[in-house]
Each structure stands twice: as C-alpha cells, then as structure tokens.
Amino acid sequence: MKEKYTCIIIDDEKLARDIIRNMLVKNPKIEVLAEYENGFEGSKAIHELKPDIVFLDIQMPKITGFEMLELLDEIPEVIFTTAFDQYALKAFEVNAIDYLLKPFSEERFQSALNKAIQKLNSGISQNYIKDKLTENPPTSSEHLKRIVVKKAQRILVIPVEEIEYIEAQDDYVMLFTKQGKFMKKGTMNFYEKNLEPQMFSRIHRSYILRTDLIKQIEPYGKDSYIIIINKDLKLPLSKSKYLELKNKIF
C-alpha cells in the first residue's frame, strides 16, 4: 500500500477539472500531478509522469479519451468522467475502474476513487485495457472518419480519405497514406467492418484498398487476380473477392 497515489485530470472543460481537483484534494492519500485540456498533452504527460490514476473525459477536441488510451504503452487506472452515457458499455469492456456521468455527486466520485485505490493495491495489471482497445477500438454506429496514430513522439489524426490501403502485419496493420505509412495495433476484420464500404474494399485476407485508386484488374495465375494502382503499385486480389469487387466498381 502506497502512502500517496498520483493522479492526472484530462478534460477540455475547466469547470469540470476544477470540480474534480477540489474533490481530490480532500483525500490526503491523493497527489494531483497535473491537469490537461486535451488528449495530446494528456498522453505525453502519462508517458512522462506515470500517474497511478487518470480522470479522463471522452468527448474532447483533437482526439477522444478512447483514442488517447490507444496510443499509450502503459495504461494507468482510468476513471471516465463524461456528460454522455452512450460510451458506458465500452468503458467497462476496456476494464475502466468507473464511469462517472456528469454531474456526479461527491459521494459517487469518492466511491470511484476508492475502487481505483483498491485495484492499485491488488497489483492486477492494466494490460487488459490495451488489449481490448486494440482488438476492437470503440466507435459510434457511424463508419470511421479518422484514425489516430503515433509515430515516434508525434500524434497524427489521419482522415480516412487519406488512406490508400491497409496491409495486415501479424497483430498490427500498416496504414499506407498520403503522409507515409503508419503501424497500428488492430485487426483487418475491424477495419473491414468499420470503414465506409463504398470507399474501401477487402481485396485479400492481407489487404484493404480504397477502391477509387483501382486503375485495372488483370488475371494472375489460375485462380487469382492482380489490381494495378499505378506502375509502381500492384496488389493481390483473391478469387473470393473478385466478383464482389467487380460488382461494386463496374
């Protein structure tokens, strides 16, 4: 059991940050390290300060709370604080400590904080959050509009319109974009399901392609095809995907 538990607050509303801070300072076992108004600054601070607990809003400018967690190598205990109830199920699926719906009472807040402290004292790893986020990143009912990636210490928000194709890389995918290529943990099935089907097609077990880039389809061997994007880029098209793709683009 630690003498002090360190916390970071990440919320784009100053009033919300003030309320959380005022509740935290009443607990002598808690040290508030810092507070931030967006996920870019918050993710950097978590990497550098390694807090025990993060109070995290979900709907924020630039990147959401879920997108921020995807970028972390090590995830602290997370208590979500939000005005939106539609993310509650996903929050618990990724093993968050609690989900506080604004406005919340001080009693409710202290209950969540106590659960976080108990979890920390148990010594159970938080790797489960990272695994769940990358297996099935949280989305709304709409198709993906952007993908957040991290390269070195830079965080980039890539509109899906800039993605040219996606290639499977074991437990990761490689996103080929106008800005370069980016590795991200995730599954091809997730992107096949959540990208706009009129814009992207699964052409092979290892590839998803933006269909407006297709210049030509040619036979390649007995039971497969090749898609020509340009003189330098050709991708395989499996026999099982050929008819589906042909019906979509012709």
DSSP string, 31-64: EEEEEESSHHHHHHHHHHH--SEEEE-SS-SSS-
- In this prediction, residue 246 carries a pLDDT of 82
Cα–Cα distance, 65 to 67 (Å, whole number): 5
Outline where DSSP puts E strands in the chain: 5-10, 30-36, 53-56, 77-82, 98-101, 146-151, 154-159, 163-169, 172-177, 180-185, 200-204, 207-210, 216-219, 224-230, 233-238
Pick the CATH number of 146-249 from 3.40.50.460, 3.40.630.30, 3.30.450.20, 2.40.50.1020: 2.40.50.1020
What CATH homologous superfamily does 5-135 map to?
Response regulator (3.40.50.2300)
For residue 153, the model assigns a pLDDT of 76
Please list, in sequence order, all residues whose beta carbon lies within 8 angstroms of the beta carbon of residue 130, skipping any fewer than 6 positions away: 69, 72, 75
Tally of CB atoms within 10 A around 49? 13
Q: Which residues contact 114 (CB under 8 A, 6 or more apart)?
A: none
Are 174 and 166 contacting, i.e. CB atoms less than 8 angstroms apart?
Answer: yes
Residue range(s) of every CATH 2.40.50.1020 domain in the chain: 146-249
Which tens digits make up the pLDDT trace of 46-89? 999 999 999 999 999 889 999 999 888 889 999 999 998 888 88
Secondary structure letter of residue 18 according to DSSP: H
Which positions of the chain have pLDDT values less than 70? Answer: 124-141, 250
Report which of 16, 57, 17 is spatially closest to residue 34, judged by C-alpha positions: 17
pLDDT of the residue at 135 = 56
- Domain(s) labelled CATH 3.40.50.2300 in the chain stretch across 5-135
The reported pTM is 0.76
State phi, psi for 64 to the nearest 5 degrees. Answer: -80, 170
